[in-house]
Chain A
Amino acid sequence: MKMPLSAIIGLVLTGGFLFVAIFAHWIAPFAIDDNSGGQWEGMSALHWLGTDTIGRDIFSRLLYGAQITIFVALASSVLAFSLGAFLGFFAAVRGGWVDQALSRMVDLVMAIPSLIVALVMLSVLPLNLTVLILVMGFLDSTRVFRLSRAVAMDITVMDYVEAAKLRGEKQSWIIFREILPNALSPLVAEFGLRFIFAVLFISTLSFLGLGIQPPLTDWGGMVKENKDGLIYGKAAAMMPALAIAALAISVNLVADWVLSRTSSLKGGRGG
């Protein structure tokens, strides 16, 4: 099967973002809070994308911002998947009241928009990286729970799971050795979508001033810092906004491709 052009573009861009995020410290020409330039300078050979509201190099801050944005989004998606998938499989395997209790709790959390839940939680919790990752991971795990429970429900009724149960395998074996490998492909496709959601979520929180706190920075926070420049026609706030859009679209392209591949493998919607 030939890889579509959109998927190649998406992969290259996503890889590029990951690369600059990992090596930000080596690539960035300036330190994160080095206010070496004047306020809102335009693009120049020294400051490639100009400077921000207090004269810091936007290009360097974009790189550091990429690091934080991608790290927080990745960490919270990994947490969401570990927690959500495990509990989802567990609920499907155990059934009965365990399933009922977990499912109703998830229904309850999902009955409130995640941004509102996050705002309510962040009004009491201290604002730091760990708390942000935990809150976002917890909220996102409810979505993963729904999906993995539904997928696992189809798998638990298969003959080979029955056979494993009759062999006397433990619950952890059934979850990790029987269900997990067979549920992996839809979960991998979902991971891309949850990751984008996490990027948008952390950016939104930072934009509202409730996410990453200075001296660290992320893209949402950079938009917030530089938004006043827009009124005077300074485009500084547009750079991080463009970065968020580009990352979201490129991961979307990859996820779309993975999704269509996994569903055609299963003889599903076709391809």
Chain B
Amino acid sequence: MHPVLKLVVQRVALGLLLLLAVSAVIFLGVEALPGDTAQAILGQQATPEALANLREQMGLDQPALTRYFNWLAGVLHGDLGTALTNKADIAKSIGQRLGNTLFLAGCAAAISVPLAIFLGIIAARYAGRWPDKVISGVTLTTISLPEFVAAYFVIFLLTQVVPIFQPVAMVFPGMSFWAKLHAVALPVIVLVLVVLAHMMRMTRAAILNVMQSAYIETAELKGLSPMKVVWRHAFPNAIAPVVSVVMLNLAYLVVGVVVVEVVFGYNALGQYLVDHVTKRDVPVVQAVGLIFAAVYIFLNMAADIIAIVANPRLRHPK
């Protein structure tokens, strides 16, 4: 077996194992915490009989491990159970919202990744001079803002100071693609701001790291233009760290999306999660939590795999 393939298979297996462990943590961890689902539904005044009835009805009288395996089997068959609060099918509710979340995150990624790499290259090319200082200064400021603060700065600026957008992002089925795109413009700008800084700084650091190699000096002594040195000689060797940073930031986007959806009242998975945490609807929280965790683990795994594949020493073993 080719060594790269072997490493990739190992990573995928490890990722699946991790996902299984995470599902156990999400399910059994919640069980271990003090708190009684039946009590939460019926309230403090519930009679012991009513509590016992409800527990039996929900299967809560069975041991936690049995319920975990039942739940896991359900998840693997696409059955996420029903919500406590409105008895709706969770898988169906998630299905309606997942697309909206992916659309938002996808738009943000499509803008932020090329922009971050471009700015990173510019900053590395002019390291220590004014373009670098301006880019680094601005990104250092945005990096220390939580998503919702960044969001309200953007809202205030783009709806009050310069009124070109609406402060809420409504999408509904049947909207045309362009109408949707216009509706999500503000949340996308916020998400781009939040992930751009970190991605750009790491790109800059990765390129500067490569720039210290001897072959870069050779390239410079050959008389190549600085931009050509960065683009042709430094960047290809910085691809592996850059790609893994990009992936890690896309994983970070998963969290940012939750907050940004709430800010803009965007009807998608993050909003759904936060709503049901407030309502203490544990099955929904577990299911959505598992989905977010799975996306996060998948992106981290992809980062690992791309780093392996991008390494020429591993691709062409001696």
Contacts and interface: CB of A to CB of B under 8 A. Distances in A.
A12 interface: no
A117 B286 CA distance: 10
B103 interface: no
A111 interface: yes
Given A227-B152, A230-B160, A204 B276 contact: no
Contacts of A209: 274, 278
Interface of A: 108-109, 111-117, 119-126, 196, 200, 203-204, 207-210, 220, 223, 227, 230-231, 233, 235, 237-238, 241, 244-245, 248-249, 252
A108 B145 contact: no
Contacts of A121: 29-30, 33
Contact of A245 (B37, B145, B252, B277): B145
Interface of B: 18, 21-22, 25-26, 29-30, 33-35, 37, 40, 140-141, 144-149, 152-153, 155-156, 159-160, 167, 251-252, 254-255, 258-259, 262-263, 273-274, 276-278, 280-282, 285-286, 289, 292-293, 296-297, 300
B34 A208 contact: no
Given A204-B146, A245-B144, 12 more contacts: A109-B25, A111-B18, A112-B293, A113-B292, A116-B289, A119-B285, A124-B282, A208-B259, A210-B274, A223-B152, A227-B152, A238-B153
A235 B140 CA distance: 25
Contact of A238 (B146, B147, B152): B152
B149 A120 contact: no
Nearest to B143: A252
A113 B152 contact: no
Contacts of A244: 145-146, 149
Contacts of B26: 112, 120
B33 A115 contact: no
A204 B34 contact: no
Nearest to A115: B255
A113 B153 contact: no
Contacts of A208: 259, 262, 274, 277
Nearest to B281: A123
A256 B148 CA distance: 24
A116 B293 CA distance: 8
A112 B258 CA distance: 14
B156 A235 contact: yes
Contacts of A111: 18, 21-22, 293, 296-297, 300
A120 B251 CA distance: 18
A123 B285 contact: yes
A214 B152 CA distance: 22
A119 B274 contact: yes
10 contacts: A112-B296, A116-B293, A116-B296, A122-B277, A124-B30, A207-B146, A223-B152, A230-B152, A238-B152, A248-B146
B233 to A, nearest CB: 24
Interface centre among B34, B149, B254, B289 (most CB of A within 10 A): B149
Contact of A120 (B30, B153, B159): B30
Nearest to A252: B144
Nearest to A119: B277
Contacts of B147: 204
Contacts of B276: 123
